[in-house]
Chains A and B, each alone.
Chain A
């Protein structure tokens, strides 16, 4: 099997690392070779962050390069736009429609681009945009955006929800398990 590539992008502090941990766990359990590349340190402080998840029979590079991502899962709309060049021509963008202003926008040095969902779609990418923040709120916490988006991603995998839920149980502390299960379920089925 050719190596598959999933990029998880967002803003430092949004919980992208938990999403990649969950994916890594799930894919390893399916018998794939897996590599997950993370970013730690300075760029976590509210900066643009990216995590690479790769799986297949044999994975070499730990990173995903331009034009290689089968999926870009974005926790924030502008970040989906920023990383679009990494998408394969037939890849899919799953993005939260939440907007978080970066500092140049906050200070007025730049504008947050308008109509990004439409522009992403017009570029030829397949786009699945959703208000993950609202669904996370429904599940019980705005911090569960990560599991809502994993739920949406799971629609495109030929794996029963039960396997995903098992991987969630292995990746999430007990006291947050119900919240995360619900967030995943809402993302998958809404």
Chain B
């Protein structure tokens, strides 16, 4: 059947059709929907793991047991899982195993735009790179064949524009590959030095065999062109931009297998054209390899390593005429993302700003606490870095910054990698105050369950990790819970915990206002007779509040009656509707 699917949904369909049995991932834009879509197939066991390292090791365990497995993550998630990655590369697999990784050129929803292709080279693993949903489905199925044929995990590399674009796919039936029997093989699966030394040569031989396969596989194809003045090597979305601009004019070598590369094929292609050109997003990965083969080419000297490419950018560099439009001659105010009306993080960040604290931040919706007028965050690095970072910050400051510094981290992020930092705080004794922003869900990626919510990926009730008990169990004696809608309670708790001279955890607990089960109150109304236009209510940066003609106004379509703004109004002008 022909249907439209997101690239991510197509990967999930490929997993289903290839008989994948176990999927373990951590939610992350732009890779989240692979696992969400996989969970909809009853034949696939799918779960959210606490982090990518756990997910990858779970998927490895599943393939070891003889079933095809998958783990999915974003580019920075692969950093977290890099430890198992480099050694699973040595052991190889039993049944097939795919590692899905989605890059985010343009940083639509990421803290950096690293190029994950480097991992394939560094770990000496094959990497396939689909350019649309149809290829995402087909490459996923093929990846299992390669995984089992070459005894290797296979990296499936996605990117935002492939993951989040719908295009046409032809779906097929599910195959049920027979489980591969598990056999104890110490020399293959126990990577202590004596055995690992025996496996490294196997890795090198496998890479050579894969390079040979790369020469003949239809994954890497030459598309003839009418004009041989330029020949283009490309892959992924860059291929789409090239075809959009050039059609069949220039010959194209499209790489569907980005590592190892087909050296001979590349050399022959280069010899058949006047000017070899490499069009690729982010780093000059293909380019560097071609240069190492001794080929002269045009690449990153034309196409920037920064941000996404587009058809106009490619047209401009290839000497075609890019399309252009006419912008409005008007100062258009920016519209950055903001915390939603009723967001439980708002009251907490307002308090942190008010107390002028140094705040080490983390990854999630609450990173928006960095934006004015809340402007309450000092640093954001990666998952868990707030909790580890505050410890170092305080240790380096010799007590001078104690009582003036906090770390903030979400519930899901805390479970991902905040807990290890907290262990360090307890063990090595700093006076850190860690605030866990517990909104009872993984918010930014679109409401995924996590170990603290009491529900699993399929939505079934399951063991709920108790944050208070967990923090106490690692040795934090002072653990307390506040309601972030209550500004007075927040301020008191933060002041007290900063004053005590020992490590503490404050759990700021209220579910995300967008969760379906959260009951909203009626929108507030402004008593214009009382409002003096002082703009105190504007200090929390709520999108539902504005001041026009000297009076505050509340947007009734946005306001959920959380009442945080009411606590800032000294004139009692913001009221629940029945009080007016």
* B339 in contact with A45 (CB, 8 Å): yes
Chain A residues with CB below 8 A from B6, complex form: 38
B325 touches which one: A39, A59, A84 (CB < 8 A)?
A84
Cβ-defined contact, A86 with B325, below 8 A: yes
Determine whether the beta carbon of B336 is less than 8 Å from that of A119. no
Cβ contacts under 8 Å, A11 to chain B = 335
A166 close to B (CB within 8 Å): no
Q: Would you give the 0/1 interface string for A71-106, flagging 1 where the beta carbon is closer than 8 Å to chain B?
A: 000000011011011111100000000000111111
Chain A binder among B149-157, B165-173, B452-460, B472-480: B165-173
Q: Which A residues between 13 and 46 are near B, CB-CB below 8 angstroms?
A: 13, 24-25, 28, 33-46
Q: Is the CB of A40 within 8 A of B335?
A: no
Q: Does B365 contact A (CB under 8 A)?
A: yes
Q: Name B543's closest neighbour in chain A (CB-CB).
A: A46
Interface size band for B: 35 or more
The answer to whether B166 and A38 have CB atoms under 8 Å apart is yes
Residues 299-332 of B, flagged 1 when their CB comes within 8 A of A and 0 if not, give 0000000000011100000000011111111111
Complex contact B164–A38 (CB within 8 A): yes
The distance from the CB of A101 to the nearest CB of chain B, in whole angstroms, is 5
A63 at the interface (CB under 8 A from B): yes
Is B243 an interface residue when CB atoms closer than 8 A count as contact? yes
**Neighbouring A residues of B373 by C-beta, 8 Å:** 107
B267 within 8 A of partner (CB) = no
Q: Which residues of B contact A (CB under 8 A)?
A: 2-4, 6, 29-30, 32-33, 108-109, 132, 161-162, 164-168, 237, 240-241, 243-244, 310-312, 322-340, 365, 367-368, 371-373, 444-446, 535, 538, 541, 543, 545-547, 557
- Beyond A36-B166, A43-B337, A66-B324, whether A61 also contacts B30 by CB under 8 A is no
Known contacts being A41-B108, A60-B240, A103-B543, is A113 close to B325, with CB within 8 Å? no
| Contact, CB under 8 Å: B325 / A85 | yes
Give, as a whole number of angstroms, the nearest-CB distance from B102 to chain A.
11
Smallest CB gap from A53: residue in B: B166
Q: Are B327 and A85 in contact (CB under 8 A)?
A: yes
Judged by a CB distance under 8 angstroms, whether A178 is at the interface is no
- Most chain B Cβ neighbours within 10 Å, of A34, A46, A89, A112: A46
- Alpha-carbon distance between A34 and B134 when the two chains are bound, in angstroms: 12
Q: List 16 A-B contacts (CB under 8 A).
A: A33-B168, A35-B132, A35-B165, A40-B32, A42-B444, A47-B336, A47-B338, A62-B237, A65-B323, A66-B312, A79-B335, A82-B335, A85-B327, A101-B543, A103-B543, A105-B333
Give every chain B residue within 8 A of A113 (Cβ-Cβ): 330-333
Closest 4 CB pairs of A and B: A41-B109, A41-B29, A47-B337, A67-B323
A12 touches B (CB below 8 Å): yes
Residue of B nearest to A45 (CB): B337
A65 near B164 with CB under 8 A, answer: no
Interface centre among A66, A87, A104 (most CB of B within 10 A): A66
Asked if residues A28 and B335 are in contact (CB atoms below 8 Å), the reply is no
